[in-house]
Each structure stands twice: as C-alpha cells, then as structure tokens.
C-alpha cells in the first residue's frame, strides 16, 4: 500500500472515530438532561453543579453543524494557489474545531488531531508548518475546562456524569477513553507515515538536485566541447581554403611558369643571336626564381606546415589563473593528423584545468622517443576533476589517442595527471 493511500485511510478512520465520539458525547448530554427532567431530580442535580448547562438541544445542533461543515471542508477542498484563500480556510477549520470542543464542555479535544492531519500536509513552507503546529499545540493545552471556565461559565461534563451510578460512570468514561486512545494512535501513525514520506521526498529531491547538477556540468562540458569543435572546424576551413589556394597556384600559375620556362629554354636553344641570349638567360633565371618562390609558398600554405611547438606554446601563453612549465622535444616532421591530435588533447587538458581545478602550476611535456611519443599534463590542484575517465572531455582524448594505437593513464595523487603514450609503429601509413 502506498504512503498516500495509507494517509487517506488513516484520515478517514480519524473522521469516523471523531464522529462516533462526538455522537456518544451528544447522546450522553441529551439523555442526561432528559433523564433529570423525567425523574424529577432537577433540584438535586442543580444543587450539585456549578453553572447551569447550555440548552442541550441547541448545543448538539451547533456541534453537528460545525462538525459537518468541518468534514465538508476537509473532503471537498482542493488546494488553491491563492495563499490568502488557503489561510482563510485554515483559520475557519481551527474556529470550527474550537466550537466543537466547547459544545462538549471541553471533555474531548481529539478533533484537534483531525484538523492537524488535514492542514499539515497542505502547508508547503516549513516555517509556516512549524508555526501552525505550535499554535495547534497551544490550543490543545489551553482547551481545558479548568482554564476556560475561568472566563466562560459552563457546566463540567463530569458533573453531568455524577447523576449516574459509579458503575455507569466508569463504563461511559472507559468507552470515551478507549475511543479517544484509538483516535490518538491513528493520529500518531498518520504523522509517522507523513514524516517518513517527507524524509523520502527530501532524499528524492536531493538526488534529483545532484542529478541536475551533474547534467548541468555535462551540458557545460558539452557546450565547451562544441565551442572547441566549432573552433577546430573554423581552423580546418581555413586550412582547406589555404589548400585550395595552394592547388590553384600550383595548377594555374605554376603551369604557366613551367610553360614559360620551357619556351624560354627552347628559344635559347635555337637562337643564333648572341646579343639576345644574355637577355633570354636573365629571363629564364627570373622565371626559375619565381617558380621556386611559388613552390615555397605552396609548401607554406599546405596543412603539413603547422608548427606544433609554436601552436602549443601560444596555448600555454594564453592560460589564465596558472603558470605552465612547457617542455618540447619533438621533430617538426610529425604526421599532420598526429599534430592535430596533440593540439586537441593539450587544448582540452588546459581547458579542464581552467574550468575544474584550483591549480596554480601546470607541467606540460611533449617528447619524442625512438619508438613512441610521450605527452604529460600534470597540475598541482586539490580539486577533483570531473574527468575521472568517464567525462566527455577525457572520453574524447581517449578516442583520439586510441586512433593512433596509444594509451592514456589518469592519476589523481598529488594533483591531476594525464600520461599519454603513442607508439610510432601503430601510426597508420599515409598520416
């Protein structure tokens, strides 16, 4: 059975018990007064009471009107977003509760439990909830005949019972106490289930907040990755444009210069005019120089000319919040795809330090060995990176390294350390 169902059933049980108890008290009041009248013992009865009792019929009618109104409010009310309306309804319930208690001469206060059970689940604000419970607790304490009778003249319910024999008095008191105890037990069970459900709800909200925080962190990381991807796409676009220009120069201008060189050589070979030969040779030398310059320019435009050392150094110089100890020991003829892989890894690692670490020093090592390439990124931060091996950034690093048959090792002792090993033999041909 769900907690919500249990709460509903317990509140229904409390409603039934309160109706039964109040009906029992109403019967006693009406029967007692009727019996006094029928047996002509009114004078003796009046001599034993402090104050005259209220009109019993009117008292019972008022009690039932208040009780049915209260039950109708509890069963028909729907929680409204209007706080003023809700507060008005709460106050009305408390007033009706007070009227009912007064109508039974302060003999029964268990109706307060029903009002608490109804209202406490509707108050969402914890502070308001505590204030409400304190108010109802004070009402329960001060709703006592000995206290109220100091200001309001009323007959004691126990004085009504004095007309009965001791056996009858004990029987009626026992029935009332039993029903009141069952009502109190139902209320305690209700509050236990309610508080347990609140604890479970708080735990669920905490878990949801943690999941939301993790999702936000992942989203932020994905946004950063998207920015990095966009920047890389832009860089690749620039490279493609340079390659296109290089191809056009090679295919068009280079072709024209080659034709001019061939034609000039042919003219020199067949020319018999000794005066024009020096001029033709000068033109050929100029064309050769132009051809060499074009070849050098095309080579510079080609994407294989990316200066890895300079590119990485520029990234370290742009670092904010920490200093980078940079050591580079690699040749310049690395495969272009490997260069881009290393650039992306270093960029992601430095970005993680900026976003997730409290480090003030970072060690960056790029070294080439006879059989493998070595990459080391290590910081002195104490904060734990989200990249524990399963984050998006680390996953991207791992995929890039595995493309070249390499391995990545992550350690968190004395800071955050990423060690990458890429064997030269596993780099695919043509890269």
Partners of 364 in beta bridges: 326, 377
- Residue 414, Ramachandran bin (φ over 0: left; ψ between -120 and 50: alpha; else beta): left
In this prediction, residue 390 carries a pLDDT of 57
In this prediction, residue 256 carries a pLDDT of 74
* pLDDT confidence band for 78 (50 / 70 / 90): low
Looking at residues 177-197, what average pLDDT do you find?
91
In this prediction, residue 230 carries a pLDDT of 79
Question: 277-301 and 254-270 helices cross at what angle (nearest 10)?
Answer: 160
**Cα radius of gyration rounded to whole Å, the chain:** 46
Yes or no: say if 416 and 399 are a contact pair by the CB < 8 Å rule: no
Distance CA(179)–CA(18), nearest Å, equals: 8
CA 116 to chain centroid = 32
pTM of the model: 0.50
In this prediction, residue 61 carries a pLDDT of 92
Distance CA(111)–CA(99), nearest Å, equals: 11
In this prediction, residue 205 carries a pLDDT of 86
Looking at the chain, how many residues does it have?
A: 431
Tokens 């510079």 locate to 300
Looking at residues 258-274, what average pLDDT do you find?
73
pLDDT digits (tens, 9 = 90+) for 392-427: 678 778 888 888 889 999 888 878 889 999 998 766
Tell me which of 4 and 117 has the higher pLDDT.
117
Residue 26 has pLDDT above 50, yes or no: yes
In this prediction, residue 243 carries a pLDDT of 66
Yes or no: say if 308 and 339 are a contact pair by the CB < 8 Å rule: yes
Yes or no: say if 148 and 106 are a contact pair by the CB < 8 Å rule: yes
The distance between the two most distant Cα atoms of the chain, rounded to a whole number of Å, is 165
- Tokens representing 105 are 């001469």
Residue 301 has pLDDT above 80, yes or no: no
Nearest to 308 by CA among 270, 347, 273: 347
pLDDT digits (tens, 9 = 90+) for 132-170: 888 888 888 888 777 777 777 777 777 777 778 888 888
Tokens 């020199």 locate to 268
In this prediction, residue 354 carries a pLDDT of 82
Residue 189 has pLDDT above 90, yes or no: yes
pLDDT digits (tens, 9 = 90+) for 215-264: 888 888 888 878 877 776 776 677 667 667 766 776 677 667 777 777 77
Distance CA(59)–CA(62), nearest Å, equals: 5
Pairing label, strands 372-379, 361-368: antiparallel
- Tokens representing 165 are 């024999």
Residue 388 has pLDDT above 70, yes or no: no
* pLDDT confidence band for 387 (50 / 70 / 90): very low
3-state secondary structure the chain: CCHHHHHHHHHHHHHHHHHHHHHHHHHHHHHHHHHHHHCCCHHHHHHHCCCCCCCHHHHHHHHHHHHHHHHHHHHHCCCCCCHHHHHHHHHHHHHHHHHHHHHCCCCCCCHHHHHHHHHHCCCCCHHHHHHHHHHHHHHHHHCCHHHHCCCCCCCCHHHHHCCCCHHHHHHHHHHHHHHHHHHHHHHHHHHHHHHHHHHHHHHHHHHHHHHHHHHHHHHHHHHHHHHHHHHHHHHHHHHHHHHHHHHHHHHHHHHHHHHHHHHHHHHHHHCCCCCCHHHHHHHHHHHHHHHHHHHHHHHHHCHHHCCHHHHHHHHHHCCCCCEEEEEEECCCCCCHHHHHHHHHHHHHHHHHHHHHCCCCEEEEEEEECCCEEEEEEEECCCCCCCCCCCCHHHHHHHHHHHHCCCEEEEECCCCCEEEEEEECCCCCCCC
Residue ranges of domains in the chain: 3-163, 226-304, 308-423
CATH number of 308-423: 3.30.565.10
* pLDDT confidence band for 429 (50 / 70 / 90): very low
């Amino acid at each position: 059975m769900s907690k919500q169902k249990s709460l509903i059933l317990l509140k229904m049980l409390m409603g039934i018990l309160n109706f039964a108890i109040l009906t029992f008290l109403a019967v006693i009041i009406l029967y007692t007064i009727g019996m006094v009248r029928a047996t002509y013992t009114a004078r003796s009865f009046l001599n034993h009471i402090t104050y005259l009792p209220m009109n019993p019929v009117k008292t019972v009618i008022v009690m039932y009107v208040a009780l049915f109104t209260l039950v109708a409010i509890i069963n028909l009310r729907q929680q409204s977003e209007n706080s003023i309306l809700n507060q008005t309804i709460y106050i009305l319930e408390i007033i009706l509760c007070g009227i009912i208690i007064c109508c039974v001469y302060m003999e029964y206060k268990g109706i307060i439990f029903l009002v608490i059970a109804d209202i406490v689940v509707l108050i969402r604000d914890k502070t308001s909830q505590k204030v409400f419970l304190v108010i109802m607790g004070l009402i329960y304490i001060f709703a006592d005949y000995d206290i109220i009778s100091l200001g309001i003249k009323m007959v004691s319910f126990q004085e009504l019972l004095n007309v009965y024999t001791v056996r009858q008095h004990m029987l009626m008191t026992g029935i009332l106490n039993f029903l009141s105890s069952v009502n109190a037990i139902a209320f305690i069970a209700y509050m236990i289930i309610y508080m347990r459900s609140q604890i479970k709800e708080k735990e669920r909200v905490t878990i949801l907040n943690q999941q939301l925080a993790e999702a936000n962190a992942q989203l932020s990381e994905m946004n950063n990755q998207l920015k990095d991807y966009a920047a890389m796409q832009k860089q690749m676009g620039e490279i493609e444009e340079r390659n296109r220009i290089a191809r056009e120069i090679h295919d068009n201008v280079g072709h024209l210069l080659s034709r001019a060189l061939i034609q000039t050589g042919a003219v020199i070979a067949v020319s018999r005019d000794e005066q024009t030969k020096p001029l033709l040779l000068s033109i050929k030398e100029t064309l050769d120089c132009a051809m060499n310059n074009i070849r050098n320019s095309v080579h510079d435009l080609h994407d294989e000319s990316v200066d890895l050392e300079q590119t990485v150094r520029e990234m370290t110089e742009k670092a904010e919040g920490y200093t980078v100890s940079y050591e580079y020991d690699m040749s310049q003829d690395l495969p272009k795809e490997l260069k881009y892989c290393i650039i992306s890894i270093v960029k992601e690692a430095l970005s993680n330090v900026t976003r997730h670490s409290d480090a003030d020093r970072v060690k960056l090592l790029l070294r080439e060995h006879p059989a493998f390439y070595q990459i080391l990124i290590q910081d002195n931060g104490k904060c734990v990176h989200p990249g524990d091996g399963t984050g998006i950034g680390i996953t991207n690093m791992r995929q890039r390294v595995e493309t070249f048959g390499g391995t990545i090792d992550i350690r968190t002792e004395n800071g955050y350390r990423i060690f990458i090993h890429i064997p030269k033999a596993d780099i695919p041909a043509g890269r």
